[in-house]
Amino acid sequence: MAVGRRSGGGSSTAKAAVKKALGEMDFNSSGGAINWFPGHMAAATRAIRDRLKVSDLVIEVRDSRIPLSSTNADLQPHLSKKRRVIALNKKDLANPNVMHKWTHHFDSCNQDCLPINAHSKSSVKKLLDLVEIKLKEAISREPTLLVMVVGVPNVGKSALINSIHQIASSHFPVQEKIKRATVGPLPGVTQDIAGFKIAHHPSIYVLDTPGVLVPSIPDIETGLKLALAGSVKDSVVGEERIAQYLLAVLNTRGTPLHWKHSNNRRMEGIRYEPEEKHDYSLKDLRPKKKPPNVSDVLYIEDMVTEVQRALYFSLSEFEGNVENENDLECLIEQQFEVLQKALKIPHKASEARIMVSKKFLTLFRTGKLGPFILDDVPEVNTAS
């Protein structure tokens, strides 16, 4: 029987163990050993600050699985000065039992927050209703109001704006150009701004181009959370490193031990042999030649079951202590081997570990391993 295992968070242990496993790499927000965000992020940040000046309300989109990590600490003072609604997107991938603690946290901070699914029109409509209430109760003098959508990469900004466009087009088929005064040295200068009209009296428009925030990455764990959620490109960090972190989180939380109780019906194991692929989108988990009389849904369900079964047995039979960095590192190495078998990846494949990592990460990112929230809810001092 395994010893020294905690059923709770274990995030500090995961951080320490993975940091050790990755060779004590020097992580910092400006690059260091890893250049997290190559390109023109500084220019993007300046552009956001300029556009904030002409916006009346900001929808800050965050990933529900990382409500704190998926933001930019440097821009928070600018954002907090504006009327703001935090949209926690991808709520379908987040643990609902923890999500209510996060909404309570934001409520206690007097910050409007709403978990959403950007692909659901009814969910987005609730967000727009909140935006309209926030603006109409606060502003009566402006005939035209602007709403800006911002967020770090891959939190669903474009999906949200696409849904807003569809809703706006159904309510206001003829979309008019918006004119607003520019912020600059010349008074009285106006410019055309592209956006979608979502309300009338006053007219409320959502700008059609989102602002891309640069995530703040003060430490390795924040960077790995962002990479795991897909806000940092896999090629920047490496799929194997991200998979190591995911396994550390699962093990220190004792998650695989809960899978047996929630998935008894299919713990018999997988019956069909997949063929390896080099991509990690969900459709590529399917085999090139599907076994007869097996649906894609059943095939992937069987793959998930075998992965969960492998991790359950590897953790339940582990004699070490997952709170010990060296023990946890050994367990993770063992689990790469059992995952390779579970995913039916050929033993001699030269890129076997990368293929294991890609498929394993795909299962997590598509919610097949269950809903998760990686960030811990901060403790708020309520003392008077």
The model's pLDDT over 191-232, given as tens digits with 9 standing for 90+, comes to 445 778 888 877 888 887 777 777 778 888 888 999 999 988
Question: Among 60-64, 148-152, 249-253, 339-343, which is the least confidently predicted range?
Answer: 148-152
Q: List, in order, residues 6 or more apart from 326 with CB less than 8 Å away.
A: 20
Cβ atoms 287, 275 nearer than 8 A? yes
Question: Given a cut of 90, is residue 246 above it in pLDDT?
Answer: yes
Question: Given a cut of 50, is residue 174 above it in pLDDT?
Answer: yes
DSSP per residue, 156-168: SHHHHHHHHHHHH
Task: Quickly count: other Cβ atoms within 10 Å of residue 370's Cβ.
Answer: 17
Q: Strand 144-151 and strand 112-115: pairing?
A: unpaired
Q: State residue 284's pLDDT score.
A: 55
Distance CA 284, CA 351 (A): 17
Q: Which residue, among 146, 199, 133, has the nearest Cα to 171 in the 3D structure?
A: 199
Distance CA 349, CA 207 (A): 48
The model's pLDDT over 51-72, given as tens digits with 9 standing for 90+, comes to 888 889 999 999 999 999 999 8
